[in-house]
Structure 1
Amino acid sequence: MINFVELNQLIKEAEKWAISLRHDFHRWPELGNNEFRTSKRIRRELDQLNIKNTKMLKTGVVGLLENQKGSTIALRADMDALPIQEAVPIPFASERDGIMHACGHDVHMAVLLGAAMVLSNIKDKINGSIKFIFQPAEETTGGAKRMIKMGCLEPKTDYILGLHVKPDLPAGTIGIKYGKVHASSDTFKITIKGKTSHGAYPEMGIDSMIAAAQIITGLQSVISRNISPLNSAVITIGKINGGSAVNLIPDTVILEGTIRSLDYQSRELLKSRLKEMVHWTAKAHGAKAEVRFEKGYPVLVNDNLIVDIIKNTAICETAVEKVVELKDPTMGVEDFSYYLEKVPGAFFFLGSGYKGKDNEGIHSEKFEVDEKCIGIGIELLVMAVMKLLE
């Protein structure tokens, strides 16, 4: 039987240790697929905790606290930093020029190692096994998909939990969302072929630039006339490339962008309608067009029963001050969605902002974290694991 006085003391010790780890991770950030120092540090700490661990991909790590009976729960933290120059004068600011943990992944790793410390100390009192997944390249190439392919969820994983810092919620608060949390995202590349001519003689050419302009504006009607106003979807053109001189009509213009949606049907419909609209708009201008898609992250959908467990555990068994139920999904993406396609689980938000302060958002060079959130995160993960393994 677990002594909860001793457990609370363990959590306090883990919090102090995890904060020191966070400082180290923050001081030495590494970009996606290059988290070599970070990976070595994680494996060293897991070894000290007597948690078996293996390397996956070049820098991923999976720890396993194994019991012979019971379910298996996976806990995941992402590892990579961002190509941003830090502008916060903290004692443990990034030592690497142009690289910063501006999305809180240093906190995620510290929280997960803190939870690992606590759970390793009460292993014999837990009816089940726990995997600790440290995943590279969340920000770039979707490390989750490749980790799954390499077998991070094998042998069978029954549930999975993940978290993310949220600076617009104060530390001491968590955010939960039932159902859809993050959108899917696919990239596309449109190549419009016309015929070059001098700007003084447009009738001699086929103006791919005019066709591109019509396509850009027309694509917004694909959203407004195909997706219900009660649903959400976004088509964004983020890149245009065409032309070599101010007085020449270019023969080729390339448009690149993204499609974001919140369900499979909308996702497929938008791709189909985009292709049709691009083809016929180009044809109307005498041009030809080719569309290529690159499939991105799927929609992140939480298991509502597990969200309930997170919510009730936070309210009844932790020092969480407030649970905020988020009403709307975000059109941003998160590759934790790949895990949730395979295993029931939940992704929740860890309030990390300073109370009474206008906190900078993630991906900002001025992003900061109230480290009070680290102890809250450790405690909630530990208590949720225990609840799921009852």
Structure 2
Amino acid sequence: MNFLEQSKKNHDFLVKIRRELHMNAETSQNEVETSKIIMKYLDEFNIPYKSEIGGHGIIAEIKGDNDGKTVALRADMDALEMEEENDIDFKAKNKNVMHSCGHDSHMTFVLGAAKLLNENKNKINGKVKLVFQPAEELSPIGGAPKILESGLLNDVDAIFGSHVWPDLPFGKIAIKEGAMMANSDHFTVKFRGASSHAAKPHEGVDAIVMGVQFVNAIQTLISRNTDPMNSAVLTVGRFIAGTRYNVMAEECLVDGTCRTFSEEDRQRIYEDMKNLAEAIASVNHGSVDYNYGFGYPALLNEKSSVEIVKNSVKEVFGEESLLEISKPAMTAEDFAFYLEKIKGAFYWVGIGTEGEKNYPLHSNKFFLNEEILHRGSALMAGIAVNFLNEN
């Protein structure tokens, strides 16, 4: 089956879908219009589905004419809280909401693949489930666990997902076996002291001093306590304290994230941060509230599923489009929850254009070349058929 040629014929239709989704961008757990758009196109394709799964999620199913196993293709649905700065006709309508992580294209990939697969049911051995998942950006909870809890994926033998990637050249497909993306955890540490006049610090307990000591101390958890061969990142994104220049701060909030690949490193850093926070509070005669949220697990691609993706890339686009990467990313994806239960693989779709400014994911100027839409759809359809034919 030449899915690429078939998908090219759907290009204008896919652009229409993507722009409609882009204009109606909605945040995590609010994907009402987004789900309506998806259901509208599934109805048009005459593909049956179940809705309101794990919130506003949708799971559709295409049954091939021949018996076989079951494969799932997943797309995330939610957008981010930011105002779009692109001057385009299909600019996001909802204030301070934008598809700046490319989820509109991911939904289009799966809808495009659905159209191709539904038109070729006579060549499908088994079933294809189409998973439209809400709340991917809702770290550390994510939308994937609720989809899994529904039980509707219990019969799935393998699951595949993708993400557009501005750091890669346009049309290149990157994948690796094993760790592809990191554990993603969120910590919030609130130090409590006692306010006093800034000129009489001995009469109070300085929460800012405790916060500063903590931020400095946790740097050694990576630089001195973590194996240099293991990738790990600790970043403080917010430091909030004080009400006035001449009043000693009573509270100090330290808010940040920890990214790791090793579960051993993850647990050790959690414990060491807790011990440091409590020790710093104690020695300064203050107190601390320590909250550490274990978020998305590391995304680990399964070997045989990676081979399916590689072979599909070569078949659909040619071997020159495949990039076998050696290093994972420190970013995170709740697709990892699926891979803890179901074998499968996740890959990146290059959208970078040489000689142009390529804005990163989560930028309010993020934009993509819509020529990627028919390519991403063709590849997803190819992966589904190849998995079913080989199993």
- Aligned twin of 2:32: 36
Contact conserved, 1:352 with 1:371, CA < 8 A, in 2?
no
CA distance in 2, matches of 1:319, 1:48: 32
TM-score (norm 2): 0.93
Gaps of 5+ in 2: none
- Aligned twin of 1:210: 209
Runs of 4+ in 1 over 6 A off after TM superposition: none
Once the two structures are overlaid, the 10-residue window that deviates more, 308-317 or 99-108, is: 308-317
SS, match of residue 368 in structure 1: coil
- Aligned twin of 2:145: 145
- Aligned twin of 2:49: 53
Once the two structures are overlaid, the 10-residue window that deviates more, 343-352 or 283-292, is: 283-292
Is 1:66 the counterpart of 2:63 in the alignment?
A: yes
- Kindly provide the amino acid, as one letter, of the partner of residue 87 in structure 2: P
- Kindly provide the amino acid, as one letter, of the partner of residue 182 in structure 2: A
Q: CA deviation at 1:319?
A: 5.3
Contact conserved, 2:4 with 2:375, CA < 8 A, in 1?
no
Q: CA deviation at 1:153?
A: 1.4
CA distance in 1, matches of 2:203, 2:97: 50
- Kindly provide the amino acid, as one letter, of the partner of residue 308 in structure 1: E
Q: CA RMSD in A?
A: 1.9
- Kindly provide the amino acid, as one letter, of the partner of residue 42 in structure 1: I
Contact conserved, 2:72 with 2:384, CA < 8 A, in 1?
no
Contact conserved, 2:181 with 2:329, CA < 8 A, in 1?
yes
- Kindly provide the amino acid, as one letter, of the partner of residue 147 in structure 2: M
Is 1:118 the counterpart of 2:137 in the alignment?
A: no
SS, match of residue 197 in structure 1: coil
Once the two structures are aligned, what percentage of the paired residues are identical? 36
Tell me how many residue pairs correspond in the alignment: 385
Of 10, 15, 33 in structure 2, the residue corresponding to residue 14 of structure 1 is 10
- Aligned twin of 1:189: 188
Contact conserved, 1:15 with 1:114, CA < 8 A, in 2?
no
- Kindly provide the amino acid, as one letter, of the partner of residue 17 in structure 2: L
- Aligned twin of 1:133: 131
Contact conserved, 1:353 with 1:368, CA < 8 A, in 2?
no
CA distance in 2, matches of 1:180, 1:223: 19
Q: CA deviation at 1:162?
A: 0.3
- Kindly provide the amino acid, as one letter, of the partner of residue 295 in structure 1: F
CA distance in 1, matches of 2:194, 2:89: 59
Contact conserved, 2:165 with 2:350, CA < 8 A, in 1?
yes
Once the two structures are overlaid, the 10-residue window that deviates more, 51-60 or 7-16, is: 7-16
TM-score (norm 1): 0.93
CA distance in 1, matches of 2:381, 2:300: 23
Contact conserved, 1:319 with 1:376, CA < 8 A, in 2?
no
Q: CA deviation at 1:325?
A: 1.9
- Aligned twin of 2:306: 307
Once the two structures are overlaid, the 10-residue window that deviates more, 333-342 or 233-242, is: 233-242
CA distance in 2, matches of 1:94, 1:251: 42
Contact conserved, 1:173 with 1:320, CA < 8 A, in 2?
no
Contact conserved, 2:4 with 2:374, CA < 8 A, in 1?
no
Q: How does 1:270-289 map to 2 (within 5 A)?
A: 270-289=269-288
Q: CA deviation at 1:122?
A: 1.4
Q: How does 1:258-277 map to 2 (within 5 A)?
A: 258-277=257-276
- Kindly provide the amino acid, as one letter, of the partner of residue 32 in structure 2: F
Contact conserved, 1:188 with 1:256, CA < 8 A, in 2?
yes
Of 26, 35, 42 in structure 1, the residue corresponding to residue 22 of structure 2 is 26
Once the two structures are overlaid, the 10-residue window that deviates more, 236-245 or 158-167, is: 236-245
CA distance in 2, matches of 1:304, 1:134: 25
- Kindly provide the amino acid, as one letter, of the partner of residue 218 in structure 1: A
CA distance in 1, matches of 2:4, 2:208: 65
Contact conserved, 2:230 with 2:262, CA < 8 A, in 1?
no
- Kindly provide the amino acid, as one letter, of the partner of residue 149 in structure 1: E
Once the two structures are overlaid, the 10-residue window that deviates more, 187-196 or 132-141, is: 187-196
From the superposition, tell whether residues 8 and 365 of structure 1 become closer, same or farther in structure 2 (CA, over 3 Å): closer
Residue by residue over 1:49-69, the C-alpha shift from the partner in whole angstroms, topping out at 9 and shown as x without a partner, is 221101113321110113573
CA distance in 1, matches of 2:289, 2:271: 13
- Aligned twin of 1:229: 228
Once the two structures are overlaid, the 10-residue window that deviates more, 85-94 or 159-168, is: 85-94
Contact conserved, 1:233 with 1:261, CA < 8 A, in 2?
yes
- Kindly provide the amino acid, as one letter, of the partner of residue 14 in structure 1: N
CA distance in 1, matches of 2:61, 2:359: 36
- Kindly provide the amino acid, as one letter, of the partner of residue 109 in structure 1: M
CA distance in 1, matches of 2:87, 2:196: 55
CA distance in 2, matches of 1:109, 1:221: 42
- Aligned twin of 1:352: 351
- Kindly provide the amino acid, as one letter, of the partner of residue 143 in structure 1: G
From the superposition, tell whether residues 201 and 97 of structure 1 become closer, same or farther in structure 2 (CA, over 3 Å): closer
- Kindly provide the amino acid, as one letter, of the partner of residue 96 in structure 2: G
From the superposition, tell whether residues 85 and 242 of structure 1 become closer, same or farther in structure 2 (CA, over 3 Å): closer
Contact conserved, 2:192 with 2:207, CA < 8 A, in 1?
yes
Contact conserved, 1:15 with 1:378, CA < 8 A, in 2?
no
CA distance in 2, matches of 1:336, 1:170: 23
Q: CA deviation at 1:338?
A: 0.8
Gaps of 5+ in 1: none
SS, match of residue 286 in structure 1: coil
Q: How does 1:165-180 map to 2 (within 5 A)?
A: 165-180=164-179
SS, match of residue 389 in structure 1: helix
Of 91, 94, 97 in structure 2, the residue corresponding to residue 96 of structure 1 is 94
Q: CA deviation at 1:178?
A: 2.2
- Kindly provide the amino acid, as one letter, of the partner of residue 126 in structure 2: G
SS, match of residue 73 in structure 1: strand
From the superposition, tell whether residues 201 and 227 of structure 1 become closer, same or farther in structure 2 (CA, over 3 Å): same
CA distance in 2, matches of 1:365, 1:241: 25
